[in-house]
Amino acid sequence: MDVLPEDELEPAGRVLAELPALPLSSPATAVLAKAPMGGEPVTARETKVIEDGGRDFERGRIVTADELRARLGL
């Protein structure tokens, strides 16, 4: 998300928030399921973000899908 222009962050967030609601047989889900993992090496910055997210999760600092939808007005 850090490479998206500022004006595209909200629409991208809305799309990501809706992904769990997609049926498993949807075309979007099929494309995501077939997408290769790890096409590029993980940078030090990405590793830090992943680790920070894991710590936040362990400490209960998370937002549910319902809370995210409410914040985005969905």
Domain assignment present for 56: yes
Write the DSSP symbol of residue 38.
-
- Torsion, Cα 11 68 42 9, to 10 degrees, reads 20
Please write the tens of the pLDDT for every residue from 46-73: 889 889 988 888 888 888 888 888 988 8
For residue 16, give its domain range.
6-72
The pTM assigned to this predicted structure is: 0.39
The number of folded domains in the chain is: 1
Domain assignment present for 1: no
Please write the tens of the pLDDT for every residue from 6-21: 888 888 887 777 766 6
